Amino acid sequence: MVLCDLGQNNGKGPIIARDMGRFDMTLVYDFLRHAEPGMLHDSVDFAPEFNQWMLFDGIWSFKRLYGGRTAFMRTFEAYYALWPSPTHPKLREKADTFLPEGLSIEEAEVLTRSQFFAKGTEMFANQIRRSGGGLAI
C-alpha cells in the first residue's frame, strides 16, 4: 500500500494495483486482520502464487521510485524469473537478464532454493560493492 501511495501520481506504483485495484491486493491481509475468534474453517480465495507476483511487482515499483534494488530484491527477481508463476511464463525467456554476473541459467537451475538465495545474494552484493555501493546498479 505504501508503494501504491508513493507511486499513485507519478506512474511508478505497482502495476498490479493499477490493473486489479489496490484493495484487492490486500485481500489476505484484510481477511486475517478482521478474523473472528472461532472461525477456524473460514477461508479466502487467493492463489498462493500471487504472493510471488506481488513481491516481484513491488520490487519493480521500488526500483522505479528509488532507482535501485537491494541484493535480496535482485536475488528474488532472479529466482522468480527462473521459476515464474503461471501468470508470467514468458518471463523465463528473459531469466538470464536477471541473474548476477557470472551465474548462468544452467548453473542456477541445479541449485536448491536455499543455495540459490545464498549464492545469488552474495553475488549481487559483490556486484553492488564493485559498482560503488548503494542500491542502484
Q: Which three cell numbers stand for residue 42?
A: 473460514
For residues 106 and 28, the model is more confident at 106
User: What sign does the CA torsion over 112, 115, 117, 123 have?
Assistant: negative
* pLDDT tens digits, 45-81: 767 777 788 889 889 889 999 888 999 999 999 999 9
Same domain, residue pair 77 and 132: yes
Residue-number span of the structural domain to which 80 is assigned? 68-137
In the structure, what pLDDT confidence band is assigned to residue 135 with cuts at 50, 70 and 90? low
Nearest to 3 by CA among 73, 63, 67, 81: 63
User: Whose grid coordinates read 548453473?
Assistant: 107
Same domain, residue pair 125 and 72: yes
Same domain, residue pair 31 and 73: no
Question: pLDDT at position 53, please?
Answer: 84
Same domain, residue pair 75 and 115: yes
Question: In total, how many domains does the chain have?
Answer: 2
User: Whose grid coordinates read 564493485?
Assistant: 130
Same domain, residue pair 75 and 123: yes
* pLDDT tens digits, 71-130: 999 999 999 999 988 778 898 999 999 999 999 999 999 999 999 999 999 999 999 999
Same domain, residue pair 43 and 75: no
pTM above 0.95, yes or no: no
